[in-house]
Chains A and B, each alone.
Chain A
Amino acid sequence: MSSAQAVVTVAGAGNKLRVQHLGMVFERDGEAVSALEDINLDVSEGEFVCIVGPSGCGKSTLLNVVAGFLSPTSGSVTIDGEAVSGPDPRRILVFQERGVFPWLTVEGNIGFGLSKLPRAEREARIAHYVQTVRLQGFEKAYPSDLSGGMKQRLQVARALAVNPDILYLDEPFGALDSITRVIMRGELLRIWQTERRTILFVTHDIDEAVQMADRVVVLSSRPAKIKDILIIDIPHPRNISSPHYLELRDELLKQIGLAYEI
């Protein structure tokens, strides 16, 4: 039994997402390169899980496999007991940048996945999520007229509009400036608390992980294995200068192998 499996399940809520013995091997210049090795992870319904690890370790690969964009070379991903075989509108991936459709307005982007709905319902849904991500007044604007933070909010709104049970976020705030990033974390937490979706959030930012997640999965460098899973048992809103917060943050830094002093 690895340490990973020992801490997996949070009592109560049922398992939503189950990753078992997941492995991913790429072929590069005729050589097999292992990106993921024996990843085991259970995520409960409504849980916020962050995946951290050194850059290039395979975090994004893991997310792309879980989201169905890549097929694993070994192991399996199941959601509600059903094997994942491809991308699915019930689970939406939010990309780091340039994920919104530049030829559509804010409304058009949010309504992108809603073409099967009757017009009235679609418009109500769009209006609701414009509100949720606070883009009122920008309904007719094109992405080129939006700031980076607004574009990411728009991507989140487009994802939420199709009512997915899981949101996958791949370093969604990685391309934003540090002030916007902090604001966006607050926004995402607010949305998560009102919408109650399961969230799997990849980041290389340790503070981000400790500020937001219920649990933080620490990956090792390539090939990525689960080094540890930390439970962040601080209720929201979190005091980011409390001793317990700092303790968990230090623990995480240590796990990643970073010294206390620069």
Chain B
Amino acid sequence: MSSITKPRLWESFFWPTIAAALLLAIWHYSVVFTGTKVFPSPMNVKTGVVELLDKHVLWADIGDSLRRVALGFGAAVLVGIPVGLWLGWSAATYQVVNPTLQILRPISPIAWIPVAIIFFGVGDRAAIFLIFLASFFPIVVACVSGVSSVPPVLRSAGRNFGLSTLQLIWRVIFPAALPQILVGVRIALGIAWLVVVAAEMIAVDSGLGYLVIDSRNSGKRYDLVVAAMLMIGIIGLVLDFSIRQVERIKSVRWGFRDAS
């Protein structure tokens, strides 16, 4: 974005296409030259995708993965933002809770899998819990830092108009911190999408993560494994693109640097 000459329209499509094609070519010829029987070529993967679509399992798996992310990530947004706002607001609460938070935060959500299974059994709820955990911390951390960087002038202005503490948090602190909170939410969604795949490999028997591990286990179908991986990548990209659209809303756009 910072380069002085803006690439022409055809160039901004042409070169990325060349790069992707080159990668596919390297992949294809590596498979051909090594004569591997295990790893699929791009063409095999394409047939794999078609096969998955024909059997209608792919759509069901995508739906299951998205549903888990929606629930776990959604709950993390709903709980994480109020908790984070309060921690950012109340220095006393923050002092009490922060050490515990800092110990829990670096624990990989994957390490929680056994615990999640004890709590919720093998099934949807364990996976959703893991996604919740994974997205909760980045949201809370973003809220706390967002609140602490709200200019004091804006707090004073809010107080001057006679707002109570809760009104001040809702009408001044939250909107002022929202651009930073959204960055945390976006990171959280990315993590949620990583974690759902991992969780589905262990805790449930549907979804894209399950598709990857099941394709390998039942007959070493690596064409399907790679096909599922590709789908995971594409959907992740779509999710990130979608959430970035929120940043274009006018009432938060002021907080992003590339805003006009």
A99 at the interface (CB under 8 A from B): yes
The number of chain A residues touching the other chain, given as a range, is 20 to 34
| Chain B proximity mask over A86-114: 1 for CB below 8 Å, otherwise 0 | 11110111010011011110000000110
State whether A143 touches B156 (Cβ < 8 A).
Answer: no
B156 touches A102 (CB 8 A): no
A120 to B164, CA, bound (A): 24
Beta-carbon nearest neighbor of B179 in chain A: A103
With A89-B161, A98-B151, A162-B161 as given contacts, are A104 and B156 in contact (CB-CB < 8 Å)? no
Q: A98 with B254: in contact, given A89-B160, A103-B175, A112-B161 (CB under 8 Å)? A: no
Closest CB in chain A relative to B248 CB, distance in Å: 13
The number of chain B residues with a CB under 8 A from chain A is 21
Q: Choose one: A69, A88, A162; the contact of B156 (CB below 8 Å).
A: A69
The answer to whether A102 and B160 touch (CB under 8 A), given A95-B153, A144-B259, is: no
**B 212-260 contacts with A by CB, 8 A:** 250-255, 259
Considering the chains assembled together, what is the distance between the CA atoms of A69 and B156 in angstroms?
8
Q: SS class of chain A's interface: helix, strand, loop or mixed? A: loop
Interface digits, A39-68 against B, CB 8 Å rule (1 contact, 0 not)?
Answer: 000000000000000000000000000010
> Nearest 6 CB-CB pairs, A to B?
A113-B161, A102-B254, A89-B162, A103-B175, A103-B251, A87-B160
A-B CB contact pairs (8 Å), 13 listed: A69-B159, A87-B156, A87-B162, A88-B160, A89-B160, A101-B157, A103-B176, A104-B251, A113-B161, A142-B253, A144-B253, A144-B259, A162-B161
Chain B residues in the interface with A (C-beta under 8 A): 151, 153-154, 156-157, 159-162, 171-172, 175-176, 178, 250-255, 259
